[in-house]
Chains A and B, each alone.
Chain A
Amino acid sequence: MIPEGFSYAVPNTLDDAFTLLKEFGEDAKILAGGHSLIPMMKLRFASPTHLVDINNIPGLSYIKEEGGYLKIGAMTREADLEESALIKKKYHIFMDATKLIADPQVRNFGTVGGNIAHGDAANDHPAVMMALGAEVEISSPSGKRTVSIDEFFFGFYTTAVQHGEILTEIRIPAIGERTGTAYHKLERKVGDYATAGVAVMVQTDASGVCTKAGIGLTNVNPLPLRAKRSEEALVGSRLTEEDIAKAAQFAAEDCNPTDDLRGSEEFKRDMVRVITKRMINKAISRI
């Protein structure tokens, strides 16, 4: 399978990339890791007239804590996250998630920014970023703007990133004391999209009362979904078995899965309930 023809440009600076994107207009696509885009182009689901490859632009790949945030450069590869000492030490949710994203070869190329900017509710980072309360930095010739992850996804393959703009950084409030995180997705085989996936972040005070909770759901809604009622069920709770079961039940009720080859709606709702419960408990065990 070979994509339709296109022109290919590989700029060395962000400014050059912006110039090219402006020149090409809506017919251009940005090539990051390419492991979602190129398969779509091969199947001719996507046929951009111009590809702007941003792999040669330096300074877009990093993982660092700075000013109270974990900052991830948009071109950071999944494999870089997997191997980062900082991530291994503090951000366990990414160790859970990256292991389940595609396979090792794909993770060598797939980028964190691309996983989000692709705007697919079946991708794993969107739910993880929701649980962590992330914000996304979008750059353009007129400067940088920041969008909350809750306001980032507009529709299927549609995000807050407008033509001519480039997603450059993901910022996550640095994980502090007494915080635990976890992610799991049910997949039929390695490399599959989630039948259902759940990302959880919980924080407690010294007495064990939950002060903050974030829960994001993968592939059980047209858009990546924040399980708001589940979060509310946890905040202020001593994280009893009863409250956790309630939060899990709310997630199952509030998602909108569809019947497909991965399972029936009923099955997926039940999997959301089961995985939510397990991930809350796993996150608590990591506090």
Chain B
Amino acid sequence: MREVRFKINGEEKVVTVESRTLLVHMIREQLSMTGTHIGCDTSSCGACTILIDGKSAKSCTLLAVQANGKEIITVEGLATAEGLHPIQEGFKENHGLHCGFCTPGMMLRAIELLEKNPDPTEEEIRWGISGNLCRCTGYNNIVKAIQYAGAKMRGAELPSTEPEFV
């Protein structure tokens, strides 16, 4: 057993884990933060995506011991007392989810994407979320949600949230 010290959503934690414990299991089972999901468990679907030192990562493919000394953000750390994070608002306003299973991973991935590229093209967004699978939406509203969040974060005019009929 090993002790792992890290910060999660701004809070210092010390957790004892086996070397083989996966990071996603520590987060869900030992910290009871179940917003980070396990989908495929083979680093394909992105439902377990979190931020480690600002980088989006698939927490099913990292060991909990690798989190030592790092700063983690999960979906539980996005909203503040002032309200939703712009990416959460984007998903809400644009119907960027149906069942919601992929949503936490999608949002955390989108946050890193927007930090590196505040005004991405549609193609850049689609490549940027290519490691996250959604089986409900067909992605169009997820793309719109990310465009909305990008506009909000850089202080630009917000795009229309009216649904498109095609």
Q: Does B42 contact A (CB under 8 A)?
A: yes
- The one of A4, A38, A106 in contact with B131, judged by C-beta atoms closer than 8 angstroms, is A106
User: Residues 2-18 of chain A: 1 if any B CB is under 8 Å from the residue's CB, otherwise 0?
Assistant: 11111110100000000
Q: Are A109 and B131 in contact (CB under 8 A)?
A: no
User: Residues 33-56 of chain B: 1 if any A CB is under 8 Å from the residue's CB, otherwise 0?
Assistant: 000000001111010010000011
Q: Are A104 and B61 in contact (CB under 8 A)?
A: no
Stretch at the interface among B14-22, B77-85, B87-95, B145-153: B14-22
Q: Which residue of chain B is the closest to A4 with respect to CB atoms? A: B20
- The one of B21, B41, B66 in contact with A1, judged by C-beta atoms closer than 8 angstroms, is B41
Given that A55-B66, A104-B56 are known contacts, is A6 also in contact with B109, CB under 8 Å in the complex?
no
Q: Which residue of chain B is the closest to A37 with respect to CB atoms? A: B61
Q: Are A190 and B130 in contact (CB under 8 A)?
A: yes
Shortest beta-carbon distance, A106 to chain B, in Å? 6
Q: Report chain A residues within 8 Å CB of B63.
A: 8, 34, 38
State the CA gap A106–B130 with chains docked (Å): 11
Q: Does A96 contact B (CB under 8 A)?
A: no
Q: Are A191 and B131 in contact (CB under 8 A)?
A: yes
**Which chain A residues (102-126) contact chain B, with CB distance < 8 Å?**
102-106, 108-109
Q: Are A8 and B2 in contact (CB under 8 A)?
A: yes
User: Residues 106-128 of chain B: 1 if any A CB is under 8 Å from the residue's CB, otherwise 0?
Assistant: 00010011001000000000011
Q: Does A39 contact B (CB under 8 A)?
A: yes
Q: Which residue of chain A is the closest to B126 with respect to CB atoms? A: A190
State the CA gap A104–B56 with chains docked (Å): 8
Given that A2-B20, A4-B20, A191-B131 are known contacts, is A104 also in contact with B66, CB under 8 Å in the complex?
no
Given that A6-B20, A53-B66 are known contacts, is A105 also in contact with B109, CB under 8 Å in the complex?
yes
Q: Does A42 contact B (CB under 8 A)?
A: yes
Q: Does B143 contact A (CB under 8 A)?
A: no
Q: Are B22 and A2 in contact (CB under 8 A)?
A: yes
Q: Does A99 contact B (CB under 8 A)?
A: yes
Q: Does B62 contact A (CB under 8 A)?
A: yes
Q: Report chain A residues within 8 Å CB of B68.
A: 10
Q: Does A51 contact B (CB under 8 A)?
A: yes
Q: Does A229 contact B (CB under 8 A)?
A: no
Q: Are A3 and B20 in contact (CB under 8 A)?
A: yes
Of the listed residues A4, A83, A102, the one surrounded by the most CB atoms of chain B closer than 10 A to its CB is A102
Of the listed residues A51, A55, A99, A191, the one surrounded by the most CB atoms of chain B closer than 10 A to its CB is A191
State the CA gap A99–B130 with chains docked (Å): 10
Q: Are B58 and A5 in contact (CB under 8 A)?
A: no
Shortest beta-carbon distance, A38 to chain B, in Å? 5
Q: Report chain A residues within 8 Å CB of B112.
A: 104
- The one of B2, B56, B66, B131 in contact with A102, judged by C-beta atoms closer than 8 angstroms, is B131
Q: Are A35 and B43 in contact (CB under 8 A)?
A: yes
Which 7 residue pairs spanning A and B have beta carbons closest together?
A: A103-B131, A8-B19, A190-B130, A108-B55, A3-B20, A105-B131, A105-B58
**A-binding residues in B (CB < 8 A):** 2, 18-22, 25, 41-44, 46, 49, 55-58, 61-63, 65-66, 68, 109, 112-113, 116, 127-132
What 20 additional pairs, Cβ within 8 angstroms, besides A10-B68, A109-B57? Answer: A1-B41, A5-B19, A7-B19, A34-B61, A39-B42, A39-B61, A42-B42, A83-B116, A99-B127, A103-B132, A104-B112, A104-B129, A104-B130, A105-B43, A105-B49, A105-B131, A106-B58, A108-B55, A108-B56, A190-B130
